[in-house]
């Protein structure tokens, strides 16, 4: 899943304040709302002409958000988040992208078997301490790296009892045989890189820069967390469910829909395509008011969605799953302990 991903999400307004702003716009000029929004998001523009254009885009997104939220029969709501000054076309063409060559990848391997006789009705790997805080990929299209490290972080915690935040930057800089840094990549290739390198460094030691740099050979040798192999999950809801019951799972989705762009809270039910263009991490599942959902960790910062998470409909009736979520799932495997702890982190090389 090459997943070219999005725009630095700045801190958005608390949900209650956003609701107040939406109410305000119904009784006052949207330009005042836009000015308040710009202040909250530290938005500046290169010229008055650009600012007027962004105001127009903002007004169109405001109308879209208002129309959706006023329906009253949806399972999710939208908000004027940090993407509210982007057109839908801009969002799709400049923040997402999945070259067909990545989708053509198919690994030949024995499929795993999760021998779980009784699947739990709900699970949330955050409650087990197997999920690191939400990260922000910024304007670098490295969602594939964030999804891969998230899955490795999860299985490492489950096996060793230790949660370590791992380095996306190492994957962006050094995993260049098949992946393309900020221009996209595939989680399976990232797993293979970690296997071939015999481990991956921590976020603390090899911090995120939101751009591709020269590979640090010294950091490459700091093999803090290892994995044994990886597994491609058969494209079915049942198989993905069994996998998530055992550990966090990387998935590809269509993240380019306008409603996804402006998502705020609730269970996302679409509409959306099943053409994959973004990578995320399933960290659990549950049900609410008779609607089943996946708990999905995104990499657009805590300001998007529900503190960086989205609940996406499960058992949608489409064999591919909501936004194609069942079609390209994978996860790393681990049974062995990590190598001895390397020396304390040093300066970047």
Residues assigned a catalytic role: 143, 278, 298
Residue listed under structure tokens 């991903």: 5
Per-residue CA distances from 199 to 120, 223, 252, 305, 338 (Å): 32, 4, 24, 32, 8
Give the residue from 264, 236, 291 showing the smallest Cα distance to 111.
Answer: 236
* 3-class SS of residue 158: helix
SS (H, E, C) 82-145: CCCCCCHHHHHHHHCCCCHHHHCCCCCCCCCCCCCCCCCCCEECCCCCCCCCCCECCCCECHHH
Nearby residues of 80 by Cβ (< 8 Å), 6 or more positions away:
13, 18, 21, 22, 33, 37, 58, 61, 62, 65, 262
Q: How many residues does the chain have?
A: 349
Q: Are 327 and 233 in contact (CB under 8 A)?
A: no
* 3-class SS of residue 335: coil
CA 6 to chain centre: 10
CA dihedral over 345, 210, 96, 254, signed as positive or negative: positive
Residue 71: how many other CB atoms lie within 10 Å: 8
Nearby residues of 146 by Cβ (< 8 Å), 6 or more positions away:
5, 135, 137, 168, 279, 281, 299
């Amino acid at each position: 899943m090459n997943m070219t991903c999005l725009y630095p999400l700045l801190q958005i307004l608390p949900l209650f304040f956003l609701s107040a702003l939406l109410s305000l716009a119904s009784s006052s000029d949207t330009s005042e709302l836009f000015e308040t929004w710009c202040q909250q998001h530290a938005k500046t523009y290169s010229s008055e002409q650009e600012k007027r254009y962004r105001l127009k885009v903002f007004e169109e997104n405001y109308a879209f958000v208002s129309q959706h939220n006023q329906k009253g029969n949806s399972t999710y709501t939208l908000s004027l988040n940090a993407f509210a000054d982007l057109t839908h076309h801009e969002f799709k063409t400049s923040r997402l992208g999945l070259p067909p060559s990545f989708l053509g990848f198919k690994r030949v391997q024995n499929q795993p078997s999760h021998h779980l006789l009784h699947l739990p009705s709900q699970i949330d790997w955050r409650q087990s301490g197997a999920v690191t805080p939400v990260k922000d990929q910024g304007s670098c299209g490295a969602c594939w790296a964030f999804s891969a490290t998230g899955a490795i972080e999860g299985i490492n915690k489950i096996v060793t009892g230790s949660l370590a935040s791992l380095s996306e930057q190492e994957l962006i800089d050094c995993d260049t045989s098949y992946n393309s840094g900020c221009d996209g990549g595939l989680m399976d290739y990232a797993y293979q890189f970690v296997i071939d390198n015999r481990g991956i460094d921590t976020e603390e030691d090899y911090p995120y820069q939101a751009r591709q740099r020269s590979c640090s050979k010294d950091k490459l040798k700091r093999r803090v967390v290892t994995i044994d192999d990886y597994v491609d999950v058969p494209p079915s809801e049942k198989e993905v469910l069994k996998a998530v019951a055992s550990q966090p799972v990387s998935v590809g989705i269509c993240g380019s829909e306008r409603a996804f762009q402006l998502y705020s809270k609730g269970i996302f039910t679409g509409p959306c395509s099943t053409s994959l263009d973004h990578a995320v991490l399933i960290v659990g599942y549950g049900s609410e008011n008779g609607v089943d959902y996946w708990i999905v960790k995104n990499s657009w910062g805590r300001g998007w969605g529900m503190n960086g998470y989205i609940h996406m409909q499960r058992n949608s009736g489409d064999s591919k799953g909501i936004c194609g979520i069942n079609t390209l799932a994978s996860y790393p495997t681990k049974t062995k302990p990590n190598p001895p702890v390397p020396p304390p982190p040093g300066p970047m090389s």
